[in-house]
């Protein structure tokens, strides 16, 4: 089968969990013996994975450009994968027009509307004087989601596709229970690039320092660094005056590097070429996430590296299953600092947390079964596509109406750009 993977960005597995997930999905397709063409309108990045090394053709494309139509007509994919809902919005109508029988798969990565709803709730909480963050309830979160245009757009894209991949059981339940989406178009698949370091990982005595890691372009990570710097780290240093925190992350902006204060033990070190390597050297991972969604790559890396972690209820969401957390879950500054220091200085508690984290990792990240599930599901849907689509009448309506509006807007922008180019040549 021929796969067209439309990437929002070029995959950077060393920069983000999303990049690692993308790489694992295309690797699953190659493992099945399928032909894969990866196309993206994003600028080429120096940290991108060389897809050609694993037999995947790369193609740069543009939004609102008829050249993409020519690619569809010449390549004629059997399956088109959209990387996040806005990629489906940009290119979905063209796929529908030129390849109507292509199976359309949406990789949500995480529910953007859930993350945005929580971010909005956080901003509302912090807008009050002397505000203290509190984890929003599920009814509050769903109400916030319902108020967002992003939710309407994201759910519409899910309906328009034949299959949408979710990385969290919590998000699957939200879509079914709170928004009434049909289960046949949804699948939980945690396929994520992790290293199996469950054996031979460094033990307590071989490690030192705290670690925090995350792509600075991802807003939940930046908020976590700020909360660490302003509140949590001073509380930890009050209990542990010699403590050192190493903050890693791709694409640190000047506002992040300016937070570096060696005298306070707060070291902003930026890019980590090997996230697993620096995670294995640390004794405790700190991930104070006040909003977000999906599976958090930093916590997955910590589990696989045998590094206990302290995070929030939102950080642990979708990752704990029915198991005790590999470290501590704390939602206040005082609880977070106390748990971090106790974990850092208690070898028995630390070793118990390491074991619990590895048990979670073994349950959550089963690459082979996740890969096999993805391939078998796609094969079954492709064989029964007409029947499958008949059960998603809302999706048919949205494809009919929404695609027309997207098509006309895109065609107008395309014409406008063409006229601008022609005028510049005169």
Q: What are the C-alpha distances in Å from 211 to residues 33, 208, 214, 245, 393?
A: 40, 9, 10, 6, 48
At 225, is the pLDDT very low, low, confident or very high (cuts 50, 70, 90)? very high
The pLDDT assigned to 169 comes to 94
The pLDDT assigned to 58 comes to 96
Mean pLDDT (whole number) for 268-283: 91
What does the CA dihedral 16, 18, 21, 27 come to, rounded to 10 degrees? -80
**Tokens 């509190």 map to which residue?**
134
The pLDDT assigned to 219 comes to 94
Per DSSP (E only), the strands in 139-272 are: 163-166, 186-188, 210-213, 245-248, 266-270
The pLDDT assigned to 382 comes to 96
pLDDT at 198 exceeding the cut of 60: no
Predicted TM-score (pTM) of the model is 0.90
The span from the CA of 426 to the CA of 423, in Å, is 5
The span from the CA of 187 to the CA of 164, in Å, is 6
Q: Which CATH superfamily is domain 2-194+368-425 in?
A: Glycogen Phosphorylase B; (3.40.50.2000)
Phi, psi of 265 (to 5 degrees): 75, 20
29-66, pLDDT tens digit by residue? 999 999 999 999 999 888 889 999 999 999 999 998 88
The span from the CA of 91 to the CA of 108, in Å, is 15
The span from the CA of 279 to the CA of 153, in Å, is 37
What number of other Cβ atoms are within 10 A of residue 198's Cβ?
17
Q: What are the C-alpha distances in Å from 46 to residues 10, 67, 80, 83?
A: 10, 25, 26, 20
Q: Domain locations in the chain?
A: 2-194+368-425, 204-364
Phi, psi of 186 (to 5 degrees): -125, 145
pLDDT at 108 exceeding the cut of 80: yes
Q: Where does 204-364 sit in CATH, by number? A: 3.40.50.2000
pLDDT at 318 exceeding the cut of 60: yes
282-296, pLDDT tens digit by residue? 999 999 999 999 999
**Tokens 């969401």 map to which residue?**
317
Q: What are the C-alpha distances in Å from 164 to residues 5, 77, 82, 318?
A: 14, 18, 9, 17
342-393, pLDDT tens digit by residue? 999 999 999 999 999 999 998 888 878 899 999 999 999 999 999 999 999 9
The pLDDT assigned to 42 comes to 93
pLDDT at 409 exceeding the cut of 70: no
The answer to whether 2-194+368-425 and 204-364 have equal CATH topology is yes
Q: Under 8 Å CB-to-CB from 415, ≥6 apart: which residues?
A: none
pLDDT at 270 exceeding the cut of 60: yes
The pLDDT assigned to 368 comes to 85
């Amino acid at each position: 089968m021929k796969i067209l993977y439309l990437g929002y960005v070029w995959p950077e597995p060393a920069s983000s969990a999303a990049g690692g997930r993308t790489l694992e999905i295309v690797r699953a397709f190659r493992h099945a013996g399928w032909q894969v063409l990866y196309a993206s309108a994003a600028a080429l990045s120096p940290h991108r994975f060389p897809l050609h090394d694993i037999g995947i053709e790369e193609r740069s494309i543009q939004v609102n450009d008829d050249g993409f139509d020519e690619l569809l007509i010449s390549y004629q994919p059997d399956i088109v994968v959209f990387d996040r809902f806005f990629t489906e919005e940009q290119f979905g109508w063209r796929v529908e027009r030129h390849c109507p029988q292509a199976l359309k798969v949406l990789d949500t990565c995480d529910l953007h509307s859930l993350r945005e709803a929580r971010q909005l709730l956080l901003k509302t909480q912090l807008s009050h004087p002397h505000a203290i963050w509190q984890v929003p309830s599920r009814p509050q979160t769903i109400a916030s989601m319902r108020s967002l245009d992003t939710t309407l757009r994201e759910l519409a894209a899910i309906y328009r596709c034949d299959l949408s991949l979710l990385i969290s059981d919590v998000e699957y339940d939200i879509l079914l229970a709170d928004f009434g989406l049909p289960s046949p178009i949804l699948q939980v698949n945690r396929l994520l690039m992790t290293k199996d370091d469950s054996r031979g990982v460094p033990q307590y005595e071989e490690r030192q320092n705290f670690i925090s890691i995350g792509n600075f372009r991802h807003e939940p990570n930046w908020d976590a660094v700020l909360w660490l710097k302003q509140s949590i780290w001073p509380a930890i240093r009050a209990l542990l005056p010699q403590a050192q925190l190493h903050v890693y992350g791709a694409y640190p902006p000047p506002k992040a590097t300016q937070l570096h204060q060696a005298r306070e033990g707060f070291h902003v070190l930026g890019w980590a070429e090997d996230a697993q390597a620096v995670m294995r050297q640390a004794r405790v991972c700190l991930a104070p996430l006040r909003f977000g969604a999906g599976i958090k790559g930093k916590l997955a890396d910590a589990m696989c590296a045998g590094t206990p972690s302290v995070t929030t209820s939102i950080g642990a969401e979708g990752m704990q299953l029915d198991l005790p957390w590999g470290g501590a879950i704390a939602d206040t500054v005082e609880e977070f600092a106390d748990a971090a220091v106790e974990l850092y200085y208690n070898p028995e508690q630390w070793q118990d947390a390491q074991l619990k984290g590895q048990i979670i990792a073994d349950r959550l990240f089963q690459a082979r079964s996740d890969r096999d599930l993805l391939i078998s599901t796609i094969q079954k849907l492709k064989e029964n596509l007409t029947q499958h689509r008949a059960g998603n009448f809302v999706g048919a309506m949205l494809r009919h109406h929404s695609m027309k509006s997207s098509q006309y807007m895109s065609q107008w922008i395309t014409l406008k750009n063409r006229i601008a180019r022609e005028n510049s040549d005169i």
